[in-house]
Amino acid sequence: MDKINQAQQLRELIRKLERRLGVLEENTVSCCQVSLAQCHALVEIGRTGHISLGELAKLLNLETSTMSRTVNNLVSTSLVQRDIDTQDRRYITISLTESGNKIYETIEKDMTFYFQDVFDSIPKDKQVQVLESMDILLEALCRK
């Protein structure tokens, strides 16, 4: 197979992977009453504890203005709060509220169970290979 065909095969496999994961995420997110973008934001905020808007936008590879709208919606639904930094009052961090933390924990638990099931479906002798290949792919995508 030549390089162009291999690149097309990679594109098709990633497209199919995105669709499969999209279906998964929509089902999981709908039970928590948040959008997909809000779900990703809640997870990143939950994992860091508190984060600036700019750092969150960078983590999610989004424009700051897009991230700002997402955070505004999360604030209006009382899932996150904005906190003024005690050291620098110009600096605002975002953290989860108690309600936001409950949704974050549900998302994390559900995703852990789902991906454990997926991982267990991979033949044992290929599991490490899949992880290594995904890591290589992610590194290649990050360079672009």
What pTM value is reported for the model? Answer: 0.81
Residues pairing with 141 in the sheet: none
120 contact partners, CB below 8 Å, separation of at least 6: none
Could you read off the pLDDT of 89-102 as tens digits, one per residue? Answer: 778 899 999 999 99
Predicted local distance difference test score (pLDDT) of residue 84: 86
Predicted local distance difference test score (pLDDT) of residue 74: 96
Could you read off the pLDDT of 51-75 as tens digits, one per residue? Answer: 999 999 999 989 999 999 999 999 9
Domains of the chain: 33-109 (1.10.10.10)
Is 131 a residue whose pLDDT tops 80? yes
DSSP state letter for 143: T
Tokens of 72: 């505004």
Asked if 74 and 100 touch (Cβ cutoff 8 Å), the reply is: yes
Q: Which residue would you say has higher pLDDT here, 41 or 23? A: 41
Predicted local distance difference test score (pLDDT) of residue 133: 95
